[in-house]
């Protein structure tokens, strides 16, 4: 009797989810259709139009995203580990600043950053944009939350007994235990950089230095759809790659049954 | 070992992050606070009273109402939707689970310009946009683009609840709904709080959606961020712009304090 209702409920849940998925998916099928059946040819046409400016945007976006990603992922996860596990002066202060700066409107940060970047003569360059985007408190805070629950003090103590120093603790315990964290921080940092709009709009002015999300504004119709699909491809790829570890749960600890 | 001394390794490890924090977080914040002292169009004498005087701008009050509208209608909708879908995804093992989360992510990972194009096409050319209804479009776009990544995160946090706990509740006779409401939600409470704050902060700062809809002529200076940018880049009034941006920071700080108080997240060690 209860088993029957259980089954019925499961079916209901599945139907609800599939219906929702279909509704969300439809506009993207339309987007792919608009991008054209000869997608690759359309892309190459777009890349040849107007002296290949779309190709330049793609290159700018790739350089900016990958360059910044390397910095944000490494620095924020390591920082999260240090703040959660190691002894360091001003630990609490750092955590509070991380949380507070995460809440500052980009509007408040963008203008001083513009001035700062201008002062070191990196105005309107991708390199300047990379430096200005290299702070990723969201990742550091997520890592902090992760390490506090994934590495309980018993485990850290055992590592110490085995003679691990601070670096060794990170290398031999922290990193191996945090594969899912690396996936999720990389993934979210990638999305926010790849789609980043506000800061590039303030820091970059020359259309030749634009990134794809800014360039899209200058295109219309078919061109927008082509770039739209182009922007989806790496994200879908990265999602599928990172999925296995995300699937296991971001916040699952090391000492769980 | 008995003497506690400052060790070098942790400082070296955290140094790159601290440098980024310093140059991209602390310095901009301080220079913002200093910038406000300079004379602004709304306060020719300069000084910190600009922070209050800026609120008298005729564009600020409507922008505030738009923000309240988003926080009152769309943020709660997003929270309920995110938690409902995450719980449903977690409730029963099913094929296509990964695919579904990917599809729900899609609206959030297309650049804003493309999202606007999709929405306009979906809604058709017959809708006449007015200052009264465009807020629903802005809310709709931010809803669809915002929920996907939080579903991924909350689904992840639900998956991390230990099996024993869930099994024990089931043995006690919890059905699926009770399990979701009484066991699972309280256990991921910290992440729900964190998400709520970031969603509210996002609504206060909203910029991309109204800016992309500016071609309709209805959303210039629609949000507080846009008004701040108008000060900075249209009238060159940086002190005014910064004062408004700092005003936007105040509710965020209050939220952060509540969050810190409520969740004792500064405590180290094995909490779950």
The predicted-structure confidence for B57-84, as pLDDT tens digits, reads as follows 889 999 999 999 999 999 999 999 999 9
Mapped onto helix, strand or coil, the DSSP state of residue B80 is helix
Substitution target in A61, A78, A105 with the highest count of B β-carbons within 10 Å is: A105
Report whether B90 contacts B184 (CB < 8 A).
yes
The answer to whether the CB atoms of B118 and A145 lie below 8 A apart is no
Closest in A78, A228, A256 to B114, CB measured: A228
pLDDT of residue B110 exceeding 80: no
Closest in A24, A82, A149 to B13, CB measured: A82
Residues of B within 8 A of A230 (CB-CB) are none
Residues 215-234 of A with CB under 8 A from B: 216-217, 224-225, 227-228, 231-232
What percentage of chain A's residues is helix, strand, coil (to nearest 5)?
80, 0, 20
Partner residues linked to B40 by β-bridges? B43
pLDDT of residue A240 exceeding 80: yes
The answer to whether the CB atoms of A216 and B113 lie below 8 A apart is yes
Which residue, B117, B62, B259, B131, is CA-closest to A220? B117
Confidence of residue B270 (pLDDT cuts 50, 70, 90): very low
Substitution target in A32, A96, A112 with the highest count of B β-carbons within 10 Å is: A112
Residues of A within 8 A of B5 (CB-CB) are none
- Residue A21 and residue A12: Cα distance in Å, rounded? 14
Which domains are assigned to chain B?
Answer: 66-224 (1.10.3720.10)
Lowest mean pLDDT, pick from A41-55, A240-254, B11-25, B231-245 = A240-254
What's the CATH fold of domain A39-247? MetI-like fold (1.10.3720)
Partner residues linked to A100 by β-bridges? none
pLDDT digits (tens, 9 = 90+) for B141-187: 899 888 988 898 888 888 877 788 888 888 888 888 888 888 888 88
Confidence of residue A136 (pLDDT cuts 50, 70, 90): very high
ipTM metric:
0.87
Partner residues linked to B43 by β-bridges? B40
Residues 186-225 of B with CB under 8 A from A: 190-191, 197-198, 201, 204-205, 207-208, 212, 224-225
The answer to whether the CB atoms of A148 and B271 lie below 8 A apart is yes
Q: Which residue, chain included where needed, has tokens 């400016």?
A: A53
Mapped onto helix, strand or coil, the DSSP state of residue B270 is coil
DSSP state of A218: G
DSSP state of B178: H
Flag whether residue B89 sits within 8 Å of chain A, measured between CB atoms: yes
Flag whether residue A111 sits within 8 Å of chain B, measured between CB atoms: yes
- Residue A177 and residue A116: Cα distance in Å, rounded? 38
Round the CA-based radius of gyration of chain A to a whole number and report it: 22
- Supply the mean pLDDT for chain A: 85
- Supply the mean pLDDT for chain B: 85
Closest in A27, A105, A170 to B249, CB measured: A105
Residues of B within 8 A of A87 (CB-CB) are 4, 7, 10
Lowest mean pLDDT, pick from A70-79, B82-91, B92-101, B256-265 = B256-265
How buried is residue A247: exposed, middle or buried, by Cβ count under 10 Å (0-12/13-18/19+)?
A: middle
């Amino acid at each position: 009797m209860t088993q029957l209702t259980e089954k019925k409920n499961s079916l209901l849940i599945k139907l609800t989810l599939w219906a929702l998925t279909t509704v969300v998916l439809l506009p993207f099928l339309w987007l792919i259709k608009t991008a054209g059946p000869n997608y690759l040819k359309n892309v190459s046409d777009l890349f040849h139009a107007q002296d290949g400016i779309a190709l330049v945007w793609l290159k700018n976006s790739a350089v900016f995203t990958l360059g910044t990603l390397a910095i944000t992922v490494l620095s924020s996860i390591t920082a999260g580990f240090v703040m959660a596990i190691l002894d360091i002066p001003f630990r609490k202060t750092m955590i509070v600043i991380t949380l507070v700066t995460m809440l500052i409107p980009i509007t408040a940060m963008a203008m001083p950053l513009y001035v700062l970047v201008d002062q070191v003569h990196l105005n309107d360059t991708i390199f300047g944009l990379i430096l200005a985007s290299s702070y990723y408190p969201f990742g550091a805070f997520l890592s902090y939350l992760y390490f506090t629950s994934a590495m309980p003090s018993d485990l850290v103590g055992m590592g110490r007994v085995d003679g691990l120093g601070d670096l060794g603790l990170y290398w031999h315990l922290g990193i191996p235990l945090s594969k899912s964290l690396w996936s999720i921080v990389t993934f979210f940092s990638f999305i926010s950089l790849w789609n980043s709009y506000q800061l590039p709009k303030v820091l970059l002015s020359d259309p030749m230095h634009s990134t794809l999300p800014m360039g899209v504004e200058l295109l219309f119709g078919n061109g927008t759809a082509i770039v739209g699909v182009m922007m989806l491809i790496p994200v879908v790829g990265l999602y599928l790659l990172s999925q296995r570890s995300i699937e296991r749960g971001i916040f699952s600890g090391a000492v769980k049954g | 070992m008995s003497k506690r001394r400052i060790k070098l390794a942790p400082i070296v490890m955290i140094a790159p992050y601290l440098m980024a924090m310093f140059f991209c977080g602390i310095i901009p914040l301080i220079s913002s606070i200093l910038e406000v002292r300079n004379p602004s169009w709304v306060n020719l004498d300069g000084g910190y009273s600009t922070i209050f005087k800026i609120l008298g701008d005729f564009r600020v009050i409507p922008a505030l109402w738009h923000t309240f509208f988003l926080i009152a209608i769309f943020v709660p909708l997003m929270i309920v939707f995110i938690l409902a879908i995450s719980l449903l995804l977690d409730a029963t093992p099913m094929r296509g689970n990964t695919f579904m989360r990917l599809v729900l992510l899609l609206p959030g990972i297309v650049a804003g310009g493309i999202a606007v194009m999709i929405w306009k096409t979906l809604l058709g050319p017959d809708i006449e946009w007015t200052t009264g209804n465009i807020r629903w479009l802005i809310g709709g776009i931010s809803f669809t683009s915002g929920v996907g990544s939080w579903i991924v995160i909350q689904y992840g946090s639900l998956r991390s609840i230990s099996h024993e706990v869930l099994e024990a509740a089931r043995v006690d006779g919890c059905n699926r709904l009770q399990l979701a409401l009484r066991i699972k939600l309280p256990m991921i409470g910290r992440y729900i709080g964190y998400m709520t704050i970031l969603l509210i902060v996002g609504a206060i700062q909203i910029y991309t959606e109204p800016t992309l809809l500016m071609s309709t002529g209805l959303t210039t200076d629609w949000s507080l961020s846009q008004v701040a940018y108008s000060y900075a880049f249209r009238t060159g009034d940086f002190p005014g712009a910064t004062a408004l941006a700092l005003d936007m920071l105040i509710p965020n700080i209050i939220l952060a304090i509540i969050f810190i108080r409520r969740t004792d997240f500064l405590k180290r060690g094995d909490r779950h």
